[in-house]
Structure 1
Amino acid sequence: MTARPPAAVPASWWLPRGIVALRVRIFARVNGEQTLTLPNAAYGPDVFERVYAHPAADGRSAGAALSDLFWYWLSPGPEVHQEHLEPGPRYDDVAATTRRILAGDSAGHAAAAARVFARLLDTVPATRVSLVRLRDLVMPAWAEFAYELVFREPCPPRARELITAHARDVISALKCTGLRHPRRRARLTAYLRERVAAGDVPHALPASLTPAEQVHYLQGTFFNTAVVQLSEATAHVLLALARHRRVQDRVAADPDDDRYLTRVLDETMRLYPLFGIAHRITTGTIPLDADTALPAGSVVCFSYPDYHATGYERPDEFDPDRWAGQSAKDAHHIPFGVAANRPCPAWRISPIVMRAAIREVLRRFRLDSTASHTRSLPNRAPCLLLPRHLPPRPRRLAARRALVRSRDKAEDVTRGVRQLLLGTVMVLHARRQRPAARYFAAHPAGSPPPPGSCPVARPEDEST
């Protein structure tokens, strides 16, 4: 039991931390007592790396209670989401399709990202300072970018709105800052169903999937995961620059210096990895040491933050220059997973387009923020955008900075309580629905179900 804090200590300091600790305990218990989290006191980063890359650490959803929670959050279509397909021909087919859609030259991808961000930033007032939430600001741009990847045409406003609403709903549920809105997600599904049926997708979609599953594949891979993760990553980088003025000034002074901007990205993803925990289910025995082995069917959770904190001096400090003397590939640094075990298919394109987006922002605005910066980013990254051509007004800026700080602290308390309550509700609802368990009970080998027979609840049938 945590000691009760003195009355003089403000709730904005202790309450959010206490709630985070409670939430961690709740989610840790979802998977039962037979879960191993790496690295830990007994097994360090070397074991983390060896187990993560082991060919038997390839199960993704079958056999883990934690899968029910992620399938619940990622509906509709989590059974064909690339991140949750079991290894085999279906996964290989889907992964190959994703790689084909993402293929293209670096210059073309960078130009596309710069173009959608220029359109977005044209809507931000250039005559005054704006207070924005960075994640909310950039998400419509990444929605347009993802649409153009899939459809190879400019994104119409209706599609951008549907994609953005869907992605915001998914990430709010994942952060437990809001409940799911299945009907909101179903509107995007209906739109994509019409486009796929009309033959509007200029790519060959996975032949192993039914037409309905192809729709869910596009929705989950490109208009959920891609949009959410690019938005989160960009918000993290921009917030880090807003909080570290000298780093921001150095990037802005020479925005075309790819080397330094890459160091900024590497350091941001090291300190604020997009994934807290990745889980795998073992399909064979994996040795941990000379005397201990993980049996088949074990659930292994890989903690990215704990792994990224090992092997560095001052690991809690944001320092892009630490990468001047070492290569990210030789450090404890896996922002896109490991090559031997289901790496992120966007590992090549993401840094390219993020650099282009960040340059576009810094060409127009100076960034300033006194809001807290945490890995999970539940505050959506409050930030002041100061048009570069406006003269500085230190007193007015100081007042705005104080407002950002005080509002963020106040929201931290109420948001923490909301996350605890809503997270508990969704955990219990997911345990009742058991979408992953029901699917694999009906299809033990993870084989595709006959059309129309999937036991996973449809979004319009869900109440949360």
Structure 2
Amino acid sequence: MRAAVAVAAAAALVTAPRWLPGRVVALRAGVFAKVNGDNVITFPNAEVGPERFQEVYGHPAAGGRSRGAGLSDLFWYWLSPGPEVHQEHLEAGPRYDDVAATTLALLAGRGDDLSARAAACAGRVLDELVPGRAALVRLRDLMMPVWAEFFHELVFGEPCPPGARDLVVGHADDVVTALKCTGLRHPRRRARLTRYLAGRLDDVRVALPGSLTPRERVHYLQGTFFNTAVVQMSEAMAHLLLTIAQHPETVPRLDDDRYFQHVLDEVMRLYPLFGIAHRITTADIDLDGVPHIPAGSVLCFSYPDYHATGYADPERFDPSRWERTSARHAHHIPFGIAANRPCPAWRVAPLAMRAATREVLRRFSAHSTVSHTRSLPHRGPCLLVRHGTALPSRVRTAVGVALRVRDRWEDVGRSLAQLVLGTVMVLDARRLRLAGRYFDEQDHGDGRVAGCPVAHGKAEVAR
């Protein structure tokens, strides 16, 4: 009996990389489902298929951002400090309009100038961080300093000092690590960037929103440009470069702008940066052929599920599909939809990513054998080999095998850590109720909650 148990335990351990991560993902999904509560509707679903997805998403009543959703407490917890003035979480109204106009002003510029700036930032970072003939890197980590410098230049109109870059990267990495439940958040680390930005408000190259207090302006900059922008661009670049590393047949054609756009469209279809976009209905929604949706419902729009519909072999990477399919008319919304707050970087991001990618490929060939999922918890392990370096094929093969084996076993420990840390943060977020307390006070007071991290920042920094 003992021998049989020992054999079974050994078999379970040896095969853990194959079955354990999936089981843990299912458990995590169950934990987060409890956060949503009972008034959640996920789209597309059996009653509202992908052909009605954008119609519901774009409905005027599907515009609530945070008020009334259990998920909001969790997202505000992850995004603090300042989630109440984060552009993605502001409710509709004059303050949102003021903030959105400022964001567009900071992102504006000639396309060739923006491309040149992205290329210069990428070149500097690559030459600094990958000076040798070959290096094993995590692509998301490698890209974060690039976009820290890029957005610092857009905001302040001057090169990013090394110390400031470290603050931005430390903050952005802490946010995305917590979001993926691979680590706990560190408010003191985030507060260092808050203090830096507070001292630079007068240096921002456009007028900041007049409807915000000075502290709220700091939080707006921190959340919009030095959190979301840096994180999303780093994630997008990691997906793009990892795909190129695993599909080297694309490389010879990437100098063609049209083909590059096809590759980018396909990467963002397969690996959309948003898994779920949640909205709260501000009024009833009644559409012909769609079940009645009452006010106060939490609508969860699944980008991966939507992007997987309407295509032949949707799981296959195939840039050529865009030669006969218009991204505008396909089930493809990498930057959201125009009727419901599309990403303000919809124009800047492809230009900057193309320029940065070409800087990478001008210096290196990329090779990777790791798994590639939308959430990218491993941050994109990859071997970069400088052009002109003679790397024997047997060495490259050995590195590929080592990467694959390491990735599979890291996935086991990482999955367990995500389950534990995710549960801890869900419980802590429910205890703090950052969004709930903020809106309670908006309804019954002057917008300030004594001791609330959202209102004052002090309790959050002290944690």
Using the size of structure 1 for normalisation, the TM-score is 0.94
Q: CA RMSD in A?
A: 2.0
**Identity among equivalent pairs (%):** 63
Q: 1:186 aligns with which of 187, 191, 199?
A: 191
Write the deviation string for residues 423-462 of structure 1: whole angstroms up to 9, x where unpaired: 00000000000000000001139x9836999762655524
Do the aligned residues in 2 keep the contact of 1:120 with 1:141 (CA within 8 Å)?
yes
| Structure 2 counterparts to residues 147-166 of structure 1, below 5 A | 147-166=152-171
- In structure 2, the CA distance between the partners of 1:460 and 1:443, relative to structure 1 (3 Å rule), is closer
Aligned residue in 2 for 1:300? 299
Do the aligned residues in 2 keep the contact of 1:186 with 1:460 (CA within 8 Å)?
no
Task: Write the letter of the residue equivalent to 1:278.
Answer: A
Q: Cα distance, 1:191 vs. partner?
A: 0.6
1:353 and 2:358 matched: no
Do the aligned residues in 1 keep the contact of 2:253 with 2:260 (CA within 8 Å)?
no
Aligned residue in 2 for 1:141? 146
Aligned residue in 2 for 1:237? 240
Write the deviation string for residues 24-74 of structure 1: whole angstroms up to 9, x where unpaired: 111122011210000012221122111100011010000000000000000
| Structure 2 counterparts to residues 296-335 of structure 1, below 5 A | 296-335=295-334
Aligned residue in 1 for 2:220? 217
Do the aligned residues in 2 keep the contact of 1:439 with 1:455 (CA within 8 Å)?
no
Gaps of 5+ in 1: none
1:207 and 2:210 matched: yes
Name whichever structure is richer in helix by fraction: 2
- In structure 2, the CA distance between the partners of 1:124 and 1:33, relative to structure 1 (3 Å rule), is same
Partners of 2:283 and 2:10 lie apart in 1 by: 47
Do the aligned residues in 2 keep the contact of 1:182 with 1:460 (CA within 8 Å)?
no
| Structure 2 counterparts to residues 239-388 of structure 1, below 5 A | 239-251=242-254, 255=255, 257-290=256-289, 292-388=291-387
Write the deviation string for residues 385-435 of structure 1: whole angstroms up to 9, x where unpaired: 011111241011111111111111110000000000000000000000000
Partners of 1:390 and 1:353 lie apart in 2 by: 28
Task: Write the letter of the residue equivalent to 1:232.
Answer: E
Gaps of 5+ in 2: 1-8
Aligned residue in 1 for 2:406? 407
Aligned residue in 1 for 2:178? 173
Task: Write the letter of the residue equivalent to 1:120.
Answer: V
Task: Write the letter of the residue equivalent to 1:394.
Answer: S
Q: Cα distance, 1:200 vs. partner?
A: 1.4
- In structure 2, the CA distance between the partners of 1:8 and 1:137, relative to structure 1 (3 Å rule), is closer
Partners of 1:451 and 1:127 lie apart in 2 by: 53
The total of aligned residue pairs comes to 454
Specify the SS of the correspondent of 2:384: strand
- In structure 2, the CA distance between the partners of 1:175 and 1:448, relative to structure 1 (3 Å rule), is farther
Do the aligned residues in 2 keep the contact of 1:284 with 1:295 (CA within 8 Å)?
yes
Partners of 1:455 and 1:440 lie apart in 2 by: 13
Do the aligned residues in 1 keep the contact of 2:451 with 2:459 (CA within 8 Å)?
no
Specify the SS of the correspondent of 2:169: helix
Partners of 1:180 and 1:288 lie apart in 2 by: 42
Write the deviation string for residues 63-100 of structure 1: whole angstroms up to 9, x where unpaired: 00000000000000000000000011111110011001
Partners of 2:339 and 2:446 lie apart in 1 by: 25
Do the aligned residues in 2 keep the contact of 1:210 with 1:451 (CA within 8 Å)?
no
Partners of 1:30 and 1:265 lie apart in 2 by: 34
Specify the SS of the correspondent of 1:386: strand
Write the deviation string for residues 354-408 of structure 1: whole angstroms up to 9, x where unpaired: 0000010001100000011100000000000011111241011111111111111
Q: Cα distance, 1:287 vs. partner?
A: 2.3
1:48 and 2:53 matched: yes
Do the aligned residues in 1 keep the contact of 2:438 with 2:448 (CA within 8 Å)?
no
Task: Write the letter of the residue equivalent to 1:112.
Answer: R
Specify the SS of the correspondent of 1:36: strand
Q: 1:37 aligns with which of 27, 37, 42?
A: 42
Aligned residue in 2 for 1:129? 134
